[in-house]
Amino acid sequence: MKDIAIEVKGLQKSFKQLHVLKGVDFEVEKGSIFALLGSNGAGKTTVVKILTTLLKQDIGTATINGFDVVSKPESVRQSISLTGQFAAVDEILTGRENLIMIAKLRHLTNPRQVADDLLNRFGLKDAAERRVSTYSGGMRRRLDIAMSLIGKPQLIFLDEPTTGLDPEARIEVWKVVKELSEGGTTVFLTTQYLDEAEQLADRIAILHEGRIIANGTLEELKNLFPPAKVEYVEKQPTLEEIFLAIIGKKEEK
């Protein structure tokens, strides 16, 4: 039997007249990267909020590491960490202070050491004493993710981690996610970018109009479509590739 980190059955949720989730089912294996793909307003964030105990579903069940999100929220919160859609960092505090604050709230014995380690790991050492309000979008996201790693949660939720980031910062975030997964952490991420799911995820589920309409590995999803036709096209570099090639020479700050 495989180890299941997240199990969701028949999840439904309405906001007043709006029936956002109409019966969502999926499982996430321990240690894997699971991407929930969907357009804006598909209900991805609602799923994340239910799984992270911020919102209660109307119908259906969701369990995290075997703990029900409704009846055992404290046990769920012990094993998860959330990086929300909008960087949940304190703008007025410095990067270091943000990390120390979360380490203290996780009741770790050496908050300063934890903060220093993460600042180094996420390339924020030089900006450690600056207020977060002066950070760029990418730095903010890295700090946000760093804050989520404090206390070594077994399961990390990333809600649209790269929305609004420039291509460089996106690739940095991808690198972090891959490292996390290699370290054994289960990663649940939502995204509206197909290439992001393609790059990162072991399994991809597509949420559309309140239901999961496809769920599988990239290969399995590709098999759902008719076999690829062979066409001859001249491969032009994408603007993203050009952009990255030009700035690639520039040393990282």
Partner 1 sequence: MDSIKKHFFSDMSVMLGRSMRHIFRSMDTIITVTIMPIAFMLLFVYVFGGAIQTGTDNYVNYLLPGILLIAIASGIAYTAYRLFMDMQSGIFERFHSMPIARSAALWGHVLTSLVSNAISVVVIILVALIMGFRSSAGVLPWLAVAGILALFTLALTWIAAIAGLSAKSVDGAGAFSYPIIFLPFISSAFVPTETMPTVVRAFAENQPVTSIVEAIRALLSGQPVGNDIWVALAWCIGIILVAYIFAMRVYKRKAA
Site for partner 1, rule CB under 8 A: 49, 52-56, 74, 77-78, 80-82, 84-93, 97, 101-102, 104-107, 131, 147-148, 157
The residue ranges of DSSP E strands in 114-224, in sequence order, are 155-159, 186-191, 203-208, 211-216
| Residues 50 and 62: beta-carbon distance below 8 Å | yes
Q: Which is nearer to partner 1, 5 or 204 (CB)?
A: 5
Q: Which is nearer to partner 1, 9 or 131 (CB)?
A: 131
Least distance between partner 1 and beta carbon 3 (Å): 22
Q: Which is nearer to partner 1, 78 or 199 (CB)?
A: 78
Q: How far apart are CA 13 and CA 172, in angstroms?
A: 34
Q: Is 204 helix (H, G, I), strand (E, B) or coil?
A: strand
Least distance between partner 1 and beta carbon 53 (Å): 6
Least distance between partner 1 and beta carbon 238 (Å): 32
Dihedral sign, Cα of residue 200, residue 189, residue 26, residue 211:
negative
Least distance between partner 1 and beta carbon 231 (Å): 45
Would you say how long the chain is, in residues?
Answer: 253
Q: Which is nearer to partner 1, 56 or 175 (CB)?
A: 56
| Residues 122 and 89: beta-carbon distance below 8 Å | no
Least distance between partner 1 and beta carbon 12 (Å): 16
Q: Which is nearer to partner 1, 24 or 206 (CB)?
A: 24
* Total Cβ atoms within 10 A of residue 193: 14
| Residues 62 and 8: beta-carbon distance below 8 Å | yes
